A and B are shown apart, each in its own frame.
Chain A
Amino acid sequence: MTDDHPLEQLPLKAMHQRAGAKFAPFAGWEMPVSYPLGVLKEHLHTRDHAGLFDISHMQLIEVTGADAALLVATCCPVEAEKLATGASKYTFLLNENAGIIDDLIVTRLAAERFMIVANAARAAIDEAHIRRLAESMNVSVTPLKRVFLALQGPDAAAVMEETGLDATKLTFMSGFEPRPGWFVTRSGYTGEDGFEIALPADQAEAFADSLMRDERVEWIGLAARDSLRLEAGLCLYGNDLDEQTDPVSAGLLWAIPKPLRDGGPYVGAKSLADMIASGPAEKRVGLRPDGRQPVRGGTTLTDAGGKPAGRVTSGGFGPSVEHPVAMGYVRAELAAPETQLFAEVRGRQIPVRVAKLPFIVKRSQKG
């Protein structure tokens, strides 16, 4: 985003201000980056109890109509017709080259109704892409204005139960609409058990207040969200994924159903099948720097012989694992765990090893 666009403001901004948030621009929005607790403690609180995140910058797009499943199956490598009502899938919008336009969560809400959750920075691009594919179909594509909150952590389910919003029966990667205008999924981007709750702005403050009254809950900012997702080995669009990366090299083939890997009705199917057949030139890997010095996104990697090996796409310090954590892309032959590489940081070669992802034991895969 350029500076001449005014930043979008969160509907709950005043609430974040009262909570003492520090704000910074992110993807065109003014977002709470941290709260008085501080990034380190916010991160650990989420892993130990429950963190509340305002993720209203993410875009919900509703797809309804007789051709809703057809549209989803054309946009994304998903078996939309077979998707059970209430089931959510992590998937992508791909371009013709199988480059990733965005990574998304798609949930089927009814026979002819789907909800897509898109990244803030890609929302307008996604919407235009989806509308273009929908042109000759009997379907409507509607971006929704909602407050969107994520409650993440081992206490999240118990806290939700006490709000009177019974989401405890939801299994991981499923969603439902408990009230008009509400949309709740058991999902998240921290590696913890948790929920994402979209709701109308005029009901959001009361709901957030009810969560915050629970002593197990703290507001958590974007900075801790980033270290949480990195420890969990989850990709951040714009850092780890972009239109030049594809699901094969990104190690995200698991998200594509087997019958769709050698072809399908979705955009990019042919390119993806070719890539699977030829194998990726580079692969996304975890990276564990030796010592305590973080290695950030954008850092160049070399192999033990000093030849270019790849690049770091996300890096920082992992408060839960108490050491620096990173991920990036390396030449496919260097992708085996424990491969010794070097990261050039401020003129020095920092030894890093290829590491298995995630860095933490994920607790989100329940139910």
Chain B
Amino acid sequence: MSKTYYTEDHEWIRVENGIATVGITDYAQEQLGDLVFVDLPSPDTSVSKGDTVVVVESVKAASDVFAPIDGEVKSANEALSSEPGLVNSAPEGDGWLWTMSVADESQLEGLLDADAYKKTIA
């Protein structure tokens, strides 16, 4: 079973078979508006919780997306290079941003579950 966790910075992270997939929430994409460019990370980059991994750019502005946990970037969603709008249309599906290893599983427990996240944006 996979479980999705959330951050107060509006990232989601879903762990399956020890690999985490990270993206931004529907609320975040709604706030940002139409994305025109996603600056993707290189695989094998080590990241610490809170590091900027991806920069998403709307018509108007650039916004940072942070690592929710420590780990190493395994892959980036290359489909976003030609179709950044996937983040808007399917933020928690085809619009995922990157996958990463999970260096310390206990960090996941410090994140929000879906209900707690909903309260932060209510």
Q: Give A contacts to B, CB under 8 Å.
A: 33-34, 38-41, 43, 223-224, 226-227, 292-294, 296, 316-317, 319, 324, 346
> Do residues A227 and B59 form an inter-chain contact, with CB atoms below 8 A?
yes
Residues of the A chain whose Cβ atoms lie less than 8 Å from the Cβ of B39: 293, 346
Nearest-neighbour CB distance to chain A for B83, whole angstroms, equals 11
Nearest-neighbour CB distance to chain A for B52, whole angstroms, equals 8
B62 within 8 A of A: yes
> Do residues B33 and A40 form an inter-chain contact, with CB atoms below 8 A?
yes
Q: How many A-B residue pairs have CB under 8 A?
A: 48
Residues of the A chain whose Cβ atoms lie less than 8 Å from the Cβ of B84: 292
Name A317's contact: one of B55, B59, B81 (CB within 8 Å). B59
B46 within 8 A of A: no
> Do residues A223 and B57 form an inter-chain contact, with CB atoms below 8 A?
no
B34 within 8 A of A: yes
CA distance A43 to B55 in the complex (A): 23
Interface size on B, residues (CB 8 A): 14
Residues of the A chain whose Cβ atoms lie less than 8 Å from the Cβ of B37: 292-294, 317, 324
CA distance A177 to B84 in the complex (A): 47
> Do residues B33 and A223 form an inter-chain contact, with CB atoms below 8 A?
yes
A-B contacts, 27 of them at CB < 8 A, read A33-B60, A38-B34, A39-B33, A39-B58, A39-B59, A41-B34, A223-B33, A223-B59, A223-B60, A224-B59, A226-B60, A227-B59, A292-B36, A292-B37, A292-B84, A293-B39, A294-B36, A294-B37, A294-B57, A296-B62, A316-B59, A317-B37, A317-B58, A317-B59, A324-B37, A346-B39, A346-B55
Name A293's contact: one of B33, B57, B61 (CB within 8 Å). B57
Nearest-neighbour CB distance to chain B for A313, whole angstroms, equals 16
> Do residues A40 and B57 form an inter-chain contact, with CB atoms below 8 A?
no
Residues of the A chain whose Cβ atoms lie less than 8 Å from the Cβ of B57: 293-294, 317
Q: Which 10 residue pairs across A and B have the least CB separation, nearest first?
A: A40-B34, A317-B36, A223-B60, A39-B59, A317-B59, A292-B37, A39-B33, A293-B37, A294-B57, A38-B34
Q: Apart from A40-B34, A227-B59, what are 18 other A-B pairs with CB-CB below 8 Å?
A: A33-B60, A39-B33, A39-B34, A40-B33, A40-B59, A41-B34, A43-B59, A223-B59, A226-B60, A227-B60, A292-B36, A292-B81, A294-B37, A296-B61, A316-B59, A317-B36, A317-B57, A317-B59
CA distance A226 to B59 in the complex (A): 9
CA distance A40 to B57 in the complex (A): 12
> Do residues A316 and B34 form an inter-chain contact, with CB atoms below 8 A?
no
Residues of the B chain whose Cβ atoms lie less than 8 Å from the Cβ of A223: 33, 59-60
Residues of the A chain whose Cβ atoms lie less than 8 Å from the Cβ of B58: 39, 317
CA distance A294 to B62 in the complex (A): 9
Interface centre among B39, B55, B81, by most chain A C-beta atoms within 10 angstroms, is B39
CA distance A186 to B63 in the complex (A): 37
CA distance A294 to B61 in the complex (A): 9
Residues of the B chain whose Cβ atoms lie less than 8 Å from the Cβ of A34: 33
CA distance A166 to B3 in the complex (A): 62
Residues of the B chain whose Cβ atoms lie less than 8 Å from the Cβ of A43: 59
- B61-101 contact mask (Cβ, 8 Å, vs A): 1 or 0: 11000000000000000000100100000000000000000
CA distance A34 to B30 in the complex (A): 11
Residues of the B chain whose Cβ atoms lie less than 8 Å from the Cβ of A227: 59-60
Nearest-neighbour CB distance to chain B for A236, whole angstroms, equals 13
Residues of the A chain whose Cβ atoms lie less than 8 Å from the Cβ of B59: 39-40, 43, 223-224, 227, 316-317, 319
Name A38's contact: one of B33, B55, B81 (CB within 8 Å). B33
Nearest-neighbour CB distance to chain A for B88, whole angstroms, equals 8
CA distance A80 to B61 in the complex (A): 40
Residues of the A chain whose Cβ atoms lie less than 8 Å from the Cβ of B60: 33, 39, 223, 226-227, 316
Residues of the B chain whose Cβ atoms lie less than 8 Å from the Cβ of A38: 33-34
CA distance A324 to B58 in the complex (A): 11
Interface centre among B37, B57, B60, B62, by most chain A C-beta atoms within 10 angstroms, is B60
CA distance A33 to B81 in the complex (A): 26
Residues of the A chain whose Cβ atoms lie less than 8 Å from the Cβ of B33: 34, 38-40, 223
Name the CB-closest residue of A to B61.
A296
Name the CB-closest residue of B to A33.
B60
Residues of the B chain whose Cβ atoms lie less than 8 Å from the Cβ of A296: 61-62
Residues of the B chain whose Cβ atoms lie less than 8 Å from the Cβ of A226: 60
